Structure 1
Amino acid sequence: MNKDIKLEDLGLKDFKDTWDYQETLFKAILDTKIKNRREDAGLATDNHFLFVEHPHVYTLGKSGDLSNLLLSESQLTEKGATFYKINRGGDITYHGPGQIVGYPILDLDNFFTDIHKYLRFLEEIIILTLAEYGLKTERSPGETGVWLDVGTPFARKICAMGVRASRWVTMHGFALNVNADLGYFDNIIPCGIRGKAVTSLNNELKLKHVDEEEVKAKILKHFSNLFEANFI
């Protein structure tokens, strides 16, 4: 079992280019697994973790409802945003500057073969990270992601999640609003959930800007601890 994870920070990168890159890494792991099964090759499978920030983009999961995008094609262009239907779970979400996006491309055979546990671990990593900033965040029953004030009229989501898995290999991941322009969420029904707000770390801390590199370091620390993994 290989518990080393190759870490890359891609900086600001186009969503489609990043998606294509994820697919390349994902396919390489699957190809190794198929070779091992067919030839009993005994090859170790790689694990990857990508940090990235995307230019303004809306993405719709495979089970999502297009009506949750509230913009026409021309309005998307006006706002400098793009739109993609993609192969993760979940509904519609927004990515943009000031948001930390994490894409773990893992062979869960190296860790544990349980997608429910995997999603709960991703949520726990964000919950633990935000606790270091004095925020009490939690899960919302039946709604993947990380929230504040669950069960109140003030419930708001700070981190969205959506993953794809095949043969225990994962891709896509989480999007944590740190210094994001929350106005872009007004153009969608986030995750298809009506009547619930979206927030960001700087908004909750009443700060103009939060150090994103510091947040990333905390995420990696908690990821490493929970998955008993080493970043290389």
Structure 2
Amino acid sequence: MKEVQFQDWGLIDYKEAWERQETLFSETVRIKTENRTKPESQLPTEDFLIFCEHPHVYTLGKSGKPEHLLLNEQGLEEKHATYYKINRGGDITYHGPGQIVGYPILDLDHFFTDIHKYLRYLEEAIILTLKEYGIEAGRSEGQTGVWIDANNPWTARKICAMGVRCSRWVTMHGFAFNVNADLNYFGNIVPCGISDKAVTSLNKELSREVDINETKEILKTKLCELFEMKLV
């Protein structure tokens, strides 16, 4: 089983976390680039799984539309929120306390070189975690992420958003799983560019506060099983 370094950064400013991700990602890409030019001296690359939470922040992916943020600068200040245009795929999303934000920085050459399979595995880990709480979740055709009642246009609701970047089969960014998130903040955006479906969280579905550390442990187990990895 591939060893992956697990780090929990706790509640961390989005920009600081992005910079730390970039450092790990860039180093892995650098090593892989050098290995291609110097086949006689191959250096190993490391893999990371990072969990964290962020203060209120909106992030816009490369394919997103700025007008999907429904707040101006003053509105952001009133909501104590920040806003960043970033280098992942996808549209706009919200991060905040009560979410498990996951950043796998993996060299997929250690696992499988298939970005679609990678995204499906991330989704499946969330789906299996929700199953532990008695919640049936799944996918919405053509839309990345994890949904409840995805096929019902009246009750479909998203519980986990995803957006990744991949270069030389090295990944960064990842997923945002609403556990005890304040869903009111999603009212200030068109989440992931989807205007006709709601957003939900684990605590809303269960009608109770959730022990987020318990959820983290379940999710870690599911990721390890799917990716056949061992966290160290």
TM-score normalized by structure 2? 0.98
Q: Distance in 1 between matches of 2:52 and 2:116?
A: 24
Equivalent in the alignment of 1:34: 33
What secondary structure does 1:131 align onto? helix
User: What letter is aligned with 2:13?
Assistant: D
Q: Report the counterpart of residue 173 of structure 1 in structure 2.
A: 174
State how far apart, in whole Å, the 1-side matches of 2:99 and 2:228 are.
26
Deviation at 1:45, TM superposition (A): 0.8
* Alignment RMSD: 0.7
Q: Identity across aligned pairs (percent)?
A: 63
**One-letter amino acid matched to 2:222:** H
Structure 2 residue identity aligned to 1:131: K
Q: Secondary structure at the match of 1:222?
A: helix
- Runs of 5+ in structure 1 lacking a partner? none
* Deviation string, structure 1 residues 143-179 (Cα, Å, up to 9, x no partner): 1000001121100000000000000000000000000
Give the partner amino acid of 2:214: E
Partner of 1:13: 12
Task: Report the equivalent of 1:78.
Answer: 78
Q: For residues 225 and 148 of structure 1, what CA distance do their matches in structure 2 show?
A: 23
Paired residue for 1:96?
A: 96
Partners of 2:181 and 2:63 lie apart in 1 by: 25
Number of positions where the alignment pairs a residue of Structure 1 with one of Structure 2: 230
Q: In structure 2, the residue corresponding to 1:159 is in which secondary structure?
A: strand
Q: What secondary structure is seen at the aligned counterpart in 2 of 1:113?
A: coil
Separation of aligned partners in 1, 2:167 and 2:73: 32
Which residue of structure 2 aligns with residue 196 of structure 1? 197
Structure 2 residue matching 1:93: 3-state secondary structure: strand
Partners of 1:102 and 1:150 lie apart in 2 by 22
Q: Which residue identity is paired with 2:169?
A: W
1:52-104 CA-to-partner distances (Å, cap 9, x unmatched) read 00000000000100110000011001110000000000000000001110000
Runs of 4+ in 1 over 3 A off after TM superposition: none
Q: Give the distance between the partners of 1:143 and 1:42, measured in 2 at CA.
A: 38
Q: Which residue of 2 aligns with 1:119?
A: 119
Distance 2:228 2:98 in 1: 29
1:220 shift after superposition: 0.7
Query: Partner residue of 2:144?
Result: 144
Read off the aligned partner of 1:164 and give its amino acid letter. Answer: R
- 1: distance between equivalents of 2:12 and 2:115? 28
What residue in structure 1 maps to residue 206 of structure 2? 205
CA distance in 2, matches of 1:44, 1:213: 32
Separation in structure 1 between the aligned mates of residue 183 and residue 198 of structure 2, nearest angstrom? 10
